[in-house]
Amino acid sequence: MTILFVDGWLGPDPGDWQELWTRKLPGSRRVEQDDWHLAERNKWVARLDEAITACTEPPVLVAHSLGCPTVAHWVADNPHRRVRAALMVTPADVERNITPEITGFAPIPQIPFSFPTVVAASRNDHWMTPERAAAFAKSWNARLVDAGEVGHLTVTEGYGAWLQGEQLLTDLLNTTAG
C-alpha cells in the first residue's frame, strides 16, 4: 500500500508528524513540490497527479493544511481516478485567509469525493474555523472528526508525534481493507 503525504504551504517541517509517520509507515512518501513558498495551484495539483499516477495501486492520501485544497482540486480535475482513501488534516481555508502566496487555491471545490475520507478539524485552528471545516467535510462526503484544540498541528505548536492522527489513519485503513 502506498501512502502519499500532501504537505501544505512552506512544505515539510523537520520533525513534524508527517515526517515521523513517513519513517514509520512502509510504502509512504511525501509529494514534493518545486516551490514550497509560492504555491501555484496548477503546479501543485499536477505534482500530486504525477505521484498518484506513479502508484501501482490506488494510494491513500494524507493531506495537511494547503495540501487539503490541493487534493480537492485534484479530485475536481480527476473525478474518475482511483484513490483508496484520504485523511484531510486541519485544512487551510484559502477563501477566508487571504495570503497572496496561496490565493490561487480559492475557491476550494466542494464536491463529493468518491473514496472514504476523514476530515480532522481543530477547534482552535487559525487557518479554518470548525464550522467551515464541517461544511467542507459535508461537501466532500467525509466523516468529520473533532481533533480537539490542536491549533494547526505544526511542530511550533508542539506536534511532532500525533497519536490521535495515527489512530484515525489506522481506522480509515481498516474500513477500506478488503
* pLDDT tens digits, 27-39: 999 999 999 998 9
Q: Look-up: residue for cell 494524507?
A: 62
Has residue 140 got a pLDDT over 70? Answer: yes
The reported pLDDT for the residue numbered 2 is 95
Q: What is the mean pLDDT of residues 140-144?
A: 98
Cα dihedral 155, 157, 161, 167, rounded to 10, equals -130
The CA R_g of the chain, rounded to the nearest whole Å, is 14
The reported pLDDT for the residue numbered 104 is 92
C-alpha span between 143 and 148 (Å, rounded): 15
Mean pLDDT (the chain) is: 94
Has residue 178 got a pLDDT over 70? Answer: no
pTM higher than 0.75, yes or no? Answer: yes
The predicted-structure confidence for 89-123, as pLDDT tens digits, reads as follows: 999 999 997 788 888 999 999 999 999 999 999 99
Q: What contacts 38, CB < 8 A, 6 or more positions away?
A: 101
SS3 category, 64 = strand
Cβ proximity of 10 and 36 under 8 Å? yes
The reported pLDDT for the residue numbered 79 is 85
- Domains of the chain are 3-176 (3.40.50.1820)
Q: What is the mean pLDDT of residues 37-60?
A: 96
The reported pLDDT for the residue numbered 81 is 86
Q: Which of 47-56, 77-86, 95-104 has the lowest mean pLDDT?
A: 95-104
- 161 — pLDDT class (breaks 50, 70, 90): confident
The reported pLDDT for the residue numbered 52 is 97
Q: What is the mean pLDDT of residues 114-141?
A: 97
